[in-house]
Structure 1
Amino acid sequence: MADGLLTVHKGSVHLADRRTQSTWTVELETFRLARYPVTRAQYAHVTGQTPGTTRGDRLPVESVSWWDAIAYCNTLSALEGLTPPYRVDGEEVEWDAAADGYRLPTEAEWEYACRAGTNGPRYGPIDAIAWYRGNSGERVHEVGELRANPWGFHDMLGNVFEWCWDLYDPEVYGTYRVLRGGGWFDEHWSCRASVRRRSHPSFAVDDVGFRVGRSGAPTASA
């Protein structure tokens, strides 16, 4: 990948859901995550497609569904000689956790990387770190324009929501998947590290994109 991945060392993260008033802790192994969301240029290079109506190579790709994101991960993995992590059979998808290819982060990985060792709702002043309704001009912005978090990740909050691997609440919402981070049209309260949103995996919306990761620490050949 042109922008590379940053290594996130193992640790634990506490998650919470306001709707159900539940909290839980997840222990995480070392993983890697992209510094930026996938851009339009990256997406076009891998898939040959340019979804959405915005124009600009450094803009985060948007109007992509969860299924689109899964397909991108598998295709990019194959292009780089890695094992694709997702096995798709119709409407069923299985994640091969042993695969070394690109994948979506889990929501626990996403929040852990977003917080980057901080404890507040955000890793910095919102206008310095996130494009949201108050400062975006109601449009998407190029990745990396605002301040990174302490671990070097840009645009974890604001700009575009990001798809995660996880089902949101299968007993209530079926196949809906988790979205994290908030977007350029959201109010400030939606751009917080702990906020969970959901969408149907087939929906493609103009403030939803994704970033990719890989399992494990880098090797000499990675």
Structure 2
Amino acid sequence: MGTTTPYIGLVGIPSGQVTLSDRRTERSWTVDLAPFRLGALPVTREQYAQVTGERPSTARGSERLPVETVSWRDAVVFCNSLSRQKELTPFYGFDDQGEVVVSEPSADGYRLPTEAEWEYACRAGTGGPRYGPLDDIAWYRGNSGERPHEPGGRLPNPWGLHDMLGNVWEWCWDLYDPEVYGTYRVLRGGGWFDEHWSCRASVRRRSHPTFRVDDVGFRVARSLTD
């Protein structure tokens, strides 16, 4: 385990409503959201190492690069470990089969954002596919040099969140489509190797919860419990 508790900057996100859509199924659905907090930046290598003692990333460069090559399950374990380090109540637990469950829905600890929270926060009150011109707000194939970059180098959205699009895909809590894809979880945001059409607020991707690859990371959230 890491020995230093990292600082994780969180932004307060107001309550609201978001409509999500899936191009594959041509389905849309609306979600009402309570206020919550979300990381201003994706979790970095340095923060991940401080909490877990591990450095899984494959890209060369600074410890301030976004952590990648982490699975959904790795991200859940990070959230619980960070919560314990900060003396907060862990949000997740494990059932008798070792599957991740929400053990404390009212916990004050760290967690992954839901897919609806992620898209709502990404849009930040804007109505288009992106919250600004892509080259100004995101690292993607057209400007990344085919590598990740330190978070915060592009313009934030109107709520002060950086790198919601591009740089690394981000794990969300939700199952993608359990009837078709079983335990596969949702990824959002697009990454440094993606073309412009993947870096949009509505784009959904899926992967197995143990999958690790060099353009997938995550950011953390917390519920407002007081």
Is TM > 0.5 for Structure 1 vs Structure 2?
A: yes
Aligned equivalent of 1:50, options 52, 55, 62 = 55
C-alpha deviation, 1:3, in angstroms: 3.9
- SS at the partner of 1:46? helix
Q: 2:167 is matched by which residue type in structure 1?
A: N
Deviations 1:28-68 (A, max 9, x none): 00100000000000000000000022231210000000000
Q: Is the 8 A contact 2:16 2:33 kept in 1?
A: yes
Q: Which residue of 2 aligns with 1:27?
A: 32
Q: Which residue of 1 aligns with 2:217?
A: 209
Deviations 1:55-114 (A, max 9, x none): 312100000000000000000000000000001134411112111100000000000000
Deviations 1:117-145 (A, max 9, x none): 00000000000001001110000000000
- SS at the partner of 1:197? strand
Tell me how far apart the structure 2 counterparts of residues 100 and 66 of structure 1 sit (CA, whole Å): 20
Q: Which residue of 1 aligns with 2:165?
A: 157
Q: Is the 8 A contact 2:58 2:68 kept in 1?
A: no
Q: Which residue of 1 aligns with 2:14?
A: 9
- SS at the partner of 1:186? coil
Would you say how many aligned residue pairs link Structure 1 and Structure 2?
218
Kindly indicate whether residue 101 of structure 2 is the aligned counterpart of residue 87 of structure 1. no
Q: Name the TM-score, length of structure 2 as normaliser.
A: 0.94
Tell me how far apart the structure 2 counterparts of residues 86 and 46 of structure 1 sit (CA, whole Å): 16
Q: Is the 8 A contact 2:17 2:120 kept in 1?
A: yes
Tell me how far apart the structure 2 counterparts of residues 65 and 125 of structure 1 sit (CA, whole Å): 30
Q: Which residue of 1 aligns with 2:117?
A: 109
Q: Is the 8 A contact 2:94 2:100 kept in 1?
A: yes
Gap runs ≥5 in structure 2: 1-5
Aligned equivalent of 2:150, options 139, 142, 156 = 142
| RMSD between aligned residues | 1.0
Q: 2:181 is matched by which residue type in structure 1?
A: Y
- SS at the partner of 1:193? coil
Tell me how far apart the structure 1 counterparts of residues 92 and 181 of structure 2 sit (CA, whole Å): 22
Tell me how far apart the structure 1 counterparts of residues 165 and 98 of structure 2 sit (CA, whole Å): 30
Deviations 1:140-190 (A, max 9, x none): 000000000000000000000000000000000000000000000000000
Q: Which residue of 1 aligns with 2:69?
A: 63
Which 4+ stretches in 1 moved above 3 angstroms?
Answer: none
Q: Name the TM-score, length of structure 1 as normaliser.
A: 0.96
Q: Which residue of 1 aligns with 2:3?
A: none
